[in-house]
Amino acid sequence: MLPETATLRLHAAALRSTRWLLWPGPCLLLLASLQAGEWRLQTASAIAMLLQSWFCWRLQLDAALLAALENAPSLTVLDDTINGLFGKAAAGRDFGQRQQGMRRLLIRFFMTTALCWILAICAIMLPMA
């Protein structure tokens, strides 16, 4: 009952590509920190960046699990692995439910990325005004 290999590869590639969205955040925060002022926005941006990094790590983990799933005979192998590593029982969830979880995680990542960038840009622009 596993989805086709091409679908798994496409999902894994899409999730892996999100890591490139991390790079503008530290650069923007560095530019903001070079200017005097708005330390609250800089702090909020740094906190948003930490949350963004957490979501990105989770997405990279999901991408690796999808890649490993290509060779697994069933989802029970994946469930056993997750349970062994994290002590988290994921049994009983079909692939559709897992995709929903990945989709929610991806949306959270995009929202924290936008928040991080907006806060950093505001921290840069406000002292100029």
Site of tokens 């989770």: 58
pLDDT tens for the 129 residues of the chain, in order: 455 777 778 888 888 888 888 888 888 877 777 776 678 888 888 899 999 999 999 999 888 888 877 777 667 777 777 777 767 665 566 778 888 988 999 999 999 999 998 988 888 888 776
Closest listed residue to residue 82, CA positions, set 59, 62, 108, 56: 62
Q: Specify whether the CB–CB gap between 16 and 108 falls below 8 A.
A: no
Q: Specify whether the CB–CB gap between 58 and 108 falls below 8 A.
A: no
Q: Specify whether the CB–CB gap between 113 and 24 falls below 8 A.
A: no
At residue 2, φ and ψ (nearest 5 deg) are: -80, 150
Q: What is the pTM of this model?
A: 0.80
